[in-house]
Chains A and B, each alone.
Chain A
Amino acid sequence: MSVSDRLTEFVQALRAKGIQAGPGETIDAAAALEVLGFDDRERTREGLAACLIRRDGQRAVFDSTFDLFFPLGVGIPEQARHEQPTLDELNDRLVAALAFDDEEQLLQLAGLAVDAFGQYGQGGSGSSGYSAHQTLDRVQPQTLLVRILAAMQAQAGFTERLDRDEVRRRIERFRELVRGEALRRVAELRGRERLARTAVPPTPDQLDFLQAGRTQVAEMRRMVQPLARKLATRLAARRRRAARGQIDLRRTLRRSLSTGGVPMTPVFRRHRPGRPEIVLLCDMSGSVASFANFTMLLVQALRDQFSKVRVFAFVDGMDEVTHLVTNGVADPAALGARILSEASIIRWDGHSDYGRSIDEFADRYPDVIGPKTSVVILGDARNNNGDPRLAVLAHILAPARRAFWLNPERRDLWNTDDSAAHDYAQVVEMHECRNARQLGVLVSRLIPV
C-alpha cells in the first residue's frame, strides 16, 4: 500500500471519529510527510498532528488512530519470536523496567506480554484474537507495586512519599501500552478500518455521560473549568453586542476624534447583565449520578454568572446539598459519594422515585422557586413506574422564570420501560443532553442576555 493511500485512509478514519480534516489538511499532511520522512516515528506523529488536528481535545483520538495506522512494527514483536518468557520472568523484567522508568523496555515487555498471555481462541479461525483485558488479568502489574518500590532503592527524604504515586502512574502507562499493543495485533487480524471505528474512544466532549468509565469521568471533570471559562466569555461577548439604548456621551466624543470631531458612530452605555437565580434538582441514583455531578460542577464553576445557586439532590427523597457543592470545589472526585452519605436523599429502598421527591420538595421548600428563578431538573425520568405527580411539579414550576429538564438518555429511549419522560415533557421543556458539548449549548441558553 502506498503512502498516500495509507494517509487518505488514516484521514478517513479520523473523520469518522469527528475530527474534521478536509482535503486541504490532507495535502498539508502529505507535504509534512515528505519533509519529515518516516525515520523518526514520534516526529512523524507530531508532524501529522500539527496538520490534522485543530484543537486540544482531539489529541487522544488522534494518537490511538495513529498507532493503528502507523504501527511500530508488524506481526509478532521481535523479542517474542526468540523467547517465550514465563510469567515470573516477565514480572522480574517488568519490575526492573518500571523501577527505572525505561520506556523502551516497557514497550518491548508490553509486546511480549500480549503475545504470551493475551491470545485467545484458535489461531487462524475467525474468533481468535488478542485481549488486553486478559493480558492484564494474568500479568496483574498492579500487584508488583511493593517489589518495584523495593527495587527503586529510593533515598529517604521528602520525595519518598511521591514514589508510590509515581509508580502507580508508570503502571498505568504500562497498561496503556498493553492496550495499544493488543489493539495493533487485533488490527492485523481484522483490518484497520473496522477497528478504528469501534476501538478508538470518542473525544471527551462527545462522550456519553451514561456510558463513561471511571477514567473517562475523571477526564470529563477536567473539562469543567475550561468549558465554564469558554461559556463565560461567550456570554460576555453576547452581552456586549446586545448593548442598545442610552448613549455614552463621553466615549462617543472620544471615538469621534478619528472622524474629525464628527460623531459618526454612537457608543451605547453598557447594560448591567441580568443574573438569574438558578435551582438545580439532581437525580443522584446510579448511572445518572455522573451526569448530575458534572452539571453541578459546571454550574458551580459558572457561579459568577448567577446571583444565587441552589442545588437539591434526590433519589427517593429530596434534600438541599448546596453547601456540599460549594465546599466541594477542591475535591470534585468525592462529591458524589459525599452527597450520598451526608444528605438524606434515600428514604426507602434507594430506587429513584420522582413522584415522592417532587412531593417532598413542594412540602419542604415551597419558597425556593420565585419569579427570578431558572429551574433545571437533571435526570432520566425513570420513575420505577411510580406516580409521576405531574400536577405537583407543574404547581412548583409555575412561578419560575424558566424551567428545563435535561435528560442524559437518547431521545429514542424516552418513554421505554419505566421512563416517564414524555409525561414530564408535557409540563416542562425537556432536552436531550448526552454529552458535555450539548450541555454547554444548553447552559448558555439558560442565561439571558
Chain B
Amino acid sequence: MTGFFTSVDEVAARLADAGYLASNAVATTVFLADRLGKPLLVEGPAGVGKTELAKAVAQVTGSRLVRLQCYEGVDESRALYEWNHAKQLLRITAGRDETWDQARTDIFSEEFLLARPLLTAIRGDEPTVLLIDETDKADVEVEGLLLEVLGDFQVTVPELGTITATQRPFAVLTSNATRELSEALRRRCLFLHIDFPDEDLEKRIVLARVPGIDETLATSIVRVINALRAMELRKSPSVAETIDWARTLLELGAESLNEELVRDSLGVILKHQEDMVKAGQRLELDKL
C-alpha cells in the first residue's frame, strides 16, 4: 500500500481542494488502489478527466509525478531503461590500457544506465505517482514489459540484477479503449470506468472551473449538454467541452440561453456537421 489516504471521504475532500471533483466511484476506487497497493486502470471517453485524476492525486499527496506517454512504437528503451552507448564507447576509448575484465564490469554499472519513466518511478525514495497515459496506444509487446513493473513493482536489468521499489508508486494507467488491453494486464489492476458525471456533479465542476458564472446559467448549460448526450451523436460532448462552452458563454456576456446563442456557439460543443444538424433539429433551434 502507498498509504496516502485514511478514508474515502478524505480522498474526496482532498481531491476537491486540488480542484478535482471526484464522484463516489472515483473516490472509492482511488482509496482502494491506495490501500491495496494495486495499479489503477482508468477507462472512459475522451475528456472526462482520466489524466487529470493522476495529476490531482500527485498534487494533493505532494508526490512526484512520473509520466510515461504511450504511443505506437514505444519500446523498452523509451519506457524502461537504456544503456548509454555513447558514454560506454567513450569509457572504453578513455581506458585504453585496461584489461578486458576491468572494462566489462565497469561499463555495465549504474552510471551508464539511462533510467526511463518506469525505472525512475521504481527507483525513487520519495512518494511517486506513476502515470502511464494512453496505454492502449502502445503495442501489445509493451504490455508484457508493464507486467513485471505493475505486478511486483520491480524491474530486472540482466546486467545489474533486479531493482525493487523501496517506496511503491501509486500507478495509474489510462486507456481510451481503442484496443483491448490484454487480460494479464487487466488482472493486475483495479478497474475504474469514468463516465460523464451526473448533472449535479457536472454543475459543481462548471462552477469550480469557470469562476464568475451564474448558477442558473450553469444549470441550463449542463441540462442542454445532458440532452445532447442522450441523443445518439457521433461524438458526445465531454466535460472539457462543457467547460469550454461555459467559458464561451461567459465571454459573450450571456445571462441565459436562447435559440440564437445556442445555435451560434454550438460549434464549441459539437465537432461534426451531422451532429450539429441533428442537435439543431432536436433542440428546435430554428423555431423563432
Residues of A at under 8 Å CB distance from B? 20, 22, 24-25, 28, 31-32, 35-36, 40, 42-43, 46-47, 49-51, 53-56, 59, 157-159, 161-162, 165-166, 169, 218, 221-222, 225-226, 229-230, 233-234, 237, 258-260, 329-333
Task: Check B177 against A161 for contact (C-beta < 8 Å).
Answer: no
B248 part of interface (Cβ distance < 8 Å): no
**Known contacts A56-B193, A230-B180; can you find 9 more A-B pairs with CB under 8 A?**
A28-B190, A31-B35, A31-B36, A32-B32, A36-B8, A36-B31, A161-B284, A233-B178, A330-B234
Bound-state Cα–Cα, A36 to B187, Å: 21
When distances are taken between beta carbons in the complex, the residues of chain A under 8 Å from B190 are 28, 50-51
B157 within 8 A of A: no
Residue on A nearest B274 in the bound complex, by CB: A330
* Cβ B179 vs Cβ A330 within 8 A: no
20 contacts between A and B (CB under 8 A): A28-B36, A28-B190, A35-B35, A46-B28, A49-B191, A50-B190, A50-B192, A54-B191, A55-B43, A55-B180, A157-B256, A157-B257, A159-B223, A165-B227, A165-B230, A218-B232, A230-B177, A234-B179, A237-B140, A331-B278
Interface positions, chain B 182-231, Cβ under 8 Å from A, are 183, 186-187, 190-193, 219-220, 223-224, 226-227, 230
A36–B43 touching, CB < 8 Å: no
- B211-270 interface with A by 8 A CB criterion: 219-220, 223-224, 226-227, 230, 232, 234, 256-259, 262
Using CB atoms, name the residue of chain B closest to A168. B230
A31 to B1, CA, bound (A): 12
From A159, which residue of chain B is reached at the shortest CB distance? B220
Q: Residue A330 contacts which of B32, B136, B183, B275 (CB distance < 8 angstroms)?
A: B275
Q: Which residue of A lies closest to B219 (CB)?
A: A159
Complex contact B24–A42 (CB within 8 A) = yes
User: How many positions in chain B have a CB within 8 Å of any CB in the partner chain?
Assistant: 51
Q: Say yes or no: is B25 at the interface (Cβ < 8 Å to chain A).
A: yes
Q: Which residues of B contact A42 (CB under 8 A)?
A: 24
When the two chains form their complex, are residues A47 and B178 in contact, meaning their CB atoms are under 8 A apart? Answer: no
B166 at the interface (CB under 8 A from A): no
User: How many Å from the CB of A152 to the closest CB on chain B?
Assistant: 12
A56 cross-chain contacts in B, Cβ below 8 A: 43-44, 177, 193
Contact pattern, B 1-29, Cβ under 8 Å of A = 1, otherwise 0? 00000001000000000000000110011
Decide: A258 and B85 in contact? CB cutoff 8 A: yes
Give chain B interface residues in 109-124, CB to chain A under 8 Å. none
A32 closest partner in B (C-beta): B32
Residue pair B77, A258 in contact (C-beta under 8 Å): yes
The reply to whether B284 and A50 contact each other, CB–CB distance below 8 Å, is no
> Which of A159, A222, A234, A259 makes the CB contact (< 8 A) with B257?
A159
- Contact pick for B191, options A53, A166, A331, CB 8 Å: A53
Could you tell me the distance between the alpha carbons of A237 and B73 in the complex, rounded to whole angstroms? 11
Interface status of B38 (Cβ within 8 A of chain A): yes
Given known A-B contacts A162-B223, A330-B274, A333-B232, A32 and B36 have beta carbons under 8 A apart? yes
**B139: CB under 8 A from chain A?**
yes
CB distance from A300 to the nearest CB of B (A): 12
Q: Shortest Cβ distance from B278 into chain A, in angstroms? A: 5
> What residues on A are CB-neighbors of B139 within 8 Å?
237
One digit per residue, 1 when the CB lies within 8 angstroms of any chain A CB and 0 when it does not, for chain B 31-70 equals 1110110100001100000000000000000000000000
With known contacts A230-B178, A230-B179, A233-B178, A331–B232 Cβ distance under 8 A: yes
